[in-house]
Chain A
Amino acid sequence: MHVKFDLNGRPVASDVEPRTTLADCIRNDFGQTGTHLACEHGVCGACTVLVNGEAVRSCLMLAVQVQGDKVVTVEGLSGDELTPLQAAFRKHHALQCGFCTPGFITTAHALLSHEPDADEERIRDVLSGNLCRCTGYVPIVEAVLEARESYRGSGSK
C-alpha cells in the first residue's frame, strides 16, 4: 500500500505492506533510527513518536494509519543545537545507555507542549508509561522539571 506523510518536516512516501508498523517504516524506509524498539508490544514507550503533536507508540501503529499526518521523531526535535529538554537530560545525567531516551524525550516534549505547568506528580504519572532500566527515573524527572520553563509562554513547540 502507498502511504504519504510528513516526517520531521519533509514529505515522504513509501510502498509498505499493510502489516508494516510505523516504527519499522520510519526506521527501515527512511533511516530515522532514533526511534527505538524495545518491546514491540506497547509497554515500554521507547518507540514513542509524535503524530500531529500527540505522543504515540509507533510499534502499535501501522504505517498506513499516518496517511497525510505530521510525524515527528526525536531526530526532528532539534538541529545542531540541543533543545532545552535535551540539554536538561544531559545536564541531569538523565540517560545512561540512551536506548529509552528518544521515547522519554518525545513523551516529555508532548506533555510539556500541552501542559507546560505540569507538576512533578503529573510528570511522573505520564512518564510512568515509559521504561528506563538505567537511571532509576530520578534524574529524568529532574530534567523534565527543569525544561518546563522553556515551554512556557511560547505555545506548542
Chain B
Amino acid sequence: MKSFNSYIGRPMERVEDLRMVRGRGTYVADVNRPNQLYAVILRSSVAHGIIRSIDSSEALALPGVHRVLTAKDFGTKVPVIPLRLQPLPQLESFHQPVLADKKVRYVGEPVAVVIADSAAIAEDALERIALDIEPLPAIASRSQAEAKRAVLFEEHGSNVAITWSAFRGNADEAFKMADYVRRETFKVQRHAAMFMEPRGFVAEWDEVAGKLTVWGAAKTAWHNRRTLAAQLGLALETVDLIEVDVGGGFGSRGEFYPEDYLIPAAARIVGRPVKWTEDRREHIMSANHARDIECDVEFAVSRDGRFIGLRGQIWADIGAYIRTNGSVGPRNVAQFMSGPYCIEHIDLKSSMLTTNKTPCGTYRGPGRYETDFIRERMIDLVAQDLKIDRVELRRRNLVADAQMPYPLASITPYDSSTELDSGDYHAVFDRCLREFGWDERSKLRGQLIDGYYHGLAIGSFIEGGAAGPKEEARLVLETDGALSVYIGSSSVGQGLETIMAQIAADAMEMSYDKITIRHGSTSYVKDGYGAYHSRSTVMGGSAILLAAEKLKDLIRKTAAARLGCTAEQIVIDGEQAGFGGEHLAFAGLSDEPLEVEAEFFNKKYTWAYGTQAAHVAVDPGTGHVKVVDFISVEDVGRMINPLTLHGQAIGSIVQGLGGAFLEHLVYDDEGQLLTGSFADYLMPTASDFPNIRSITVELKPCPNNPLGAKGAGEGGLIPVGGVMANAVADALSHLNVQPMELPLSPPRIWQLVERAEAARSAT
C-alpha cells in the first residue's frame, strides 16, 4: 500500500533550535576572517546642516588606524541607494547618499568611516575627527515641514516628496448623499522594528580572483547584490552575499543601508577584510524608523449603519530620505484603510513629508497598523453617535463570503490594485466573540473594580502576503538518497529551515530527516527574492512544490532507463522508484546527483484575515492600562507548522502592544533624537502582557497557490493599536475619554482623564 507523508500541519520542533539553545548559532558578529580590520562610522550629531570641513589628521595619527574614508574617497559622485519598491523617477532626488557629502539631513547620518586594527582603536580615532557642521534650521514636525522652516531638498522646493492617492467609486458624491458624516484627526507615533541583533557586515575582497564576499545579508540578498555590484562596477557573479543566522528582521533588517555599501567598499579600498558591528545607539538612529503619521479622515454612513464613503488626508513623516521601501507604509495607510469592510467610495491622499529625522521604512504590518488604529477608532465613534452596537455595526459592514474576490481601493502614482481573495469574515468574527466570552464580559464594561475601570473592544483586520513576482528553488537528490533544497527565501528567525523541510518532505514523500534546507547565499539559486510581505512560506514553499514535481519526473525517467520500462510506469513510494516487483532506492539511484530548478510566479497577494478582542483595566489615577485578556482569531488558509505559526501570532501581538503603550522615538524641535537607548525606548518585557491568546483556523484556503496557504506572521500586530484605544475609551466611557493618538502611555491617558474630569466639573 502506498504511504503518504503528513509533515505539513504538524507542530514540528524546529531544527534551528538545536544550535541556537546551545549558543552554537552563527550570527554576523561571530564571523571573523583572517587579517581583518574593523570599521566604525562617524555620524552627524546635527539634524540639518552644511559640512564645512572634516579634519582626520589627528585620527590618522593614532597607532593602529589605517584609513578615514569620507565622501571624497568615493569619487565625484557619492553613490546613492536606489529604491527597491515603487522606484518612481520623481523620487530620485530623495535617494540617500551612502555618505553625507555637502549636507547632513539627520542625526545619525554617516559622514566618515574609520578603519583600524580593532574596534576600540577605531572608536578612539572617531573621537579625534574634527567635524565642522554649520547648522541649518531643522524640520522636526509636520507644521515645520509645511511652513517650510527649511527645505531639505532645495531643488525640489517643498518638503512634500510625493502624494499617493487611493481611490474607488466616487467619494464626493457619496458624502453628498450620506445621512451622517464623522470627521476626526489621529496620530501614530514614530517607532521601529528594533530587532535584537545589531546590524553588521564582514566584507572580503579577493584581488586575485576579483571576487567580493559579504557576510551579514538578510531579507533581500539578491536585490542587494544587484545594487552593490552596480555601485561598485562589478559583474553580478563576482559578488556573493551570505546570510548567516539573523537575529530578527521585522521588515527593517536586510534593506540596503549606507553600510551595505560602505563596508564592502572599504574592504576593497584597504585590501583586507573589514568587519563592522553597530551598537544599539547607532542602531536606534540609523536603522529604519516607521509608523510616524497624522491623519484627517471622514466616514460617510447611511442611516442604517452602512459605511458608504471614506475620505481624507494622511501625512507621513518619512524622515530625511526615501529609503528602499520608504513608500510602502504611507501607501498602505491609504490603500488598506477600508480593511475587511465594504466601503464602495474611497478618496484618500497620503503625502510623504521629508523631515530631519532618521529615514523610515517598513516595520511588520507597515501602514496597516496605523490605518487599523484610525479605522477601528472611527467605527467605535460612529457606533456611539448612531447608537448602534459596535459589534452589530461591524457585522453589517464586513465583506461577505459571497462578495469575494473583493477589490480594494486602487493606488496611484505607482499603480497597483489588489483584491481580497477569499474568506468567511463573519465566521471568524463570531468565533472570536465566542472564544472571548463577549456577552459575559460585557457586564464589566465601565465598572470600577479595585481602582481600575474595565473596558472591552473588538476589531477585525486583513493581512496581505505573498508578494511576487516569483521565488526560486533548486532540488538536488544526492547520490546517498539525501535531498538538498536550495531556496531563494531568507531566514530572519521565523523557522524557515523547519517549514521548508516539512513542505519538501511531503512533496517528495521522503523522511523529514533526509532533507537539508540551504538558504542564505546568492550563489545557491539564480535569482531569489527573500523574506518580506509574509511571503516565504507561500512563495518559497510553492517553488519547492513545483520543483518536487520536476524532480519526481527526473527520478521516474532515471529509474525507467535502469528498469527497462517507461517513466509513466514507475511508481515512487517510500524513497524508492519501482516497476513491477523491482524497486530502486533513491540512494544509489544514479551515479550523479539529480538536480532540478523551478520558479513559482505569483501576481496575486494572499489575504489572511482575523478578529481580535481585548479586555483592559485602566487606573484613572496613573493612566496605567492592564491587559486583562486578549484574543486573536485568524484564518491563514492552511497551516504548515502550528507551533511556529502560533509563535508568530503571539510575538506579533506583543510587538503591537509595545506600539500601543510603550514604544516611542522622540525628537526635540531641532531634530535631536532623545531616545537613544533601551532605557529610553521602552519595549514590552516578560511581566507586561502575560494574558495573550491566539487561535488559528483553516477555513478558506487561498485559491491562488498550490499550498492553499496565506502569508501570516504580521497579522497579530495589525489591529492592536485600534483595539487597545477602543478598549480604553470603553473603560472610561463615563468620562467620554477618546484617545486619538498613540501610544496610550500612562501620562497620555492620565491627561485625558484629567481633562475629561475638568470638563465635566465645568458643566
Q: Which residues of A contact B (CB under 8 A)?
A: 17, 19, 27, 32-41, 43-44, 46, 73-75, 77-78, 82, 86, 89-91, 93, 95-102, 105, 120, 123-125, 127-141
Contacts and interface: CB of A to CB of B under 8 A. Distances in A.
B247 A99 contact: yes
Contacts of A135: 647, 650-651, 654
B692 A89 contact: no
B29 to A, nearest CB: 7
Contacts of A32: 23
A-B pairs, 3 with minimum CB distance: A34-B23, A97-B493, A99-B247
A17 B117 CA distance: 14
Contacts of A99: 25, 27, 195-197, 245, 247-248, 493
Contacts of B683: 131, 133
Interface in B240-265: 245-250
B646 interface: yes
A129 B687 CA distance: 9
Contacts of B644: 93, 96
Given A27-B29, A127-B686, 14 more contacts: A33-B23, A39-B678, A40-B279, A75-B23, A77-B22, A91-B13, A95-B21, A97-B249, A97-B492, A99-B27, A99-B247, A101-B20, A128-B686, A136-B653
A140 B21 CA distance: 12
A96 B495 contact: yes
Nearest to A136: B654
Given A93-B644, A124-B690, A82 B493 contact: no
B651 A134 contact: yes
The A contact surface, by secondary structure, is loop
A125 B654 contact: no
A133 B194 contact: yes
Interface of B: 13-14, 16-18, 20-27, 29-30, 120, 193-198, 245-250, 279-280, 492-495, 643-644, 646-648, 650-655, 677-679, 683-690, 692
Contact of A96 (B651, B653, B687): B651
A105 B22 CA distance: 9
Given A86-B22, A99-B248, A138 B677 contact: no
Contacts of A132: 196, 686
Most buried by B among A32, A33, A105: A33
Contacts of A86: 21-22
A98 B650 CA distance: 16
Contacts of B29: 27, 33, 36-37
Contact of A74 (B16, B23, B679, B687): B23
A123 B687 CA distance: 9
Contacts of B653: 136
B27 A136 contact: no
Contact of A101 (B21, B246, B249): B21
Contacts of A95: 17, 20-21
Contact of B245 (A35, A98, A131, A140): A98
Contacts of B14: 90, 93
Contacts of A39: 280, 677-678
Contacts of A40: 279-280
B493 A134 contact: yes
The B contact surface, by secondary structure, is loop
A34 B24 CA distance: 6
Nearest to B691: A138
B551 to A, nearest CB: 30
A157 to B, nearest CB: 15
Contacts of B23: 32-35, 73-75, 102
Most buried by B among A38, A73, A135: A38
A134 B25 CA distance: 16
A139 B679 CA distance: 25
A38 to B, nearest CB: 5
Contacts of A33: 23, 26-27, 29-30
Most buried by B among A27, A120, A137: A137
B75 to A, nearest CB: 35
12 contacts: A37-B29, A40-B280, A93-B13, A97-B493, A124-B687, A133-B196, A134-B248, A136-B653, A136-B692, A138-B690, A141-B686, A141-B690
Contacts of A128: 685-688
Nearest to B493: A97
Contacts of B21: 74, 82, 86, 89-90, 95, 98, 101, 105
Nearest to B680: A43
Most buried by B among A82, A98, A99, A137: A98
Given A40-B279, A131-B678, A133-B196, A96 B690 contact: no
Contacts of B651: 96, 133-136
A131 B13 contact: no
B655 to A, nearest CB: 7
Most buried by B among A90, A99, A105: A99
Nearest to B643: A93
Contact of A17 (B120, B494, B690): B120
A41 B686 contact: no
Given A73-B23, A93-B14, A137-B654, A41 B493 contact: no
A102 B651 CA distance: 18
B13 A98 contact: no
Nearest to B15: A90
B22 A125 contact: no
Given A134-B493, A135-B647, A90 B30 contact: no
Given A124-B686, A131-B683, A141-B686, A97 B247 contact: yes
Contacts of B647: 93, 96, 134-135, 139
A124 B20 CA distance: 22
Contacts of B654: 135-138
Contacts of A82: 18, 21-22
A132 B687 CA distance: 12
Contacts of A27: 29-30
Contacts of B493: 96-99, 134
A37 B29 CA distance: 9
A101 to B, nearest CB: 6
Nearest to B249: A97
A136 B689 contact: yes
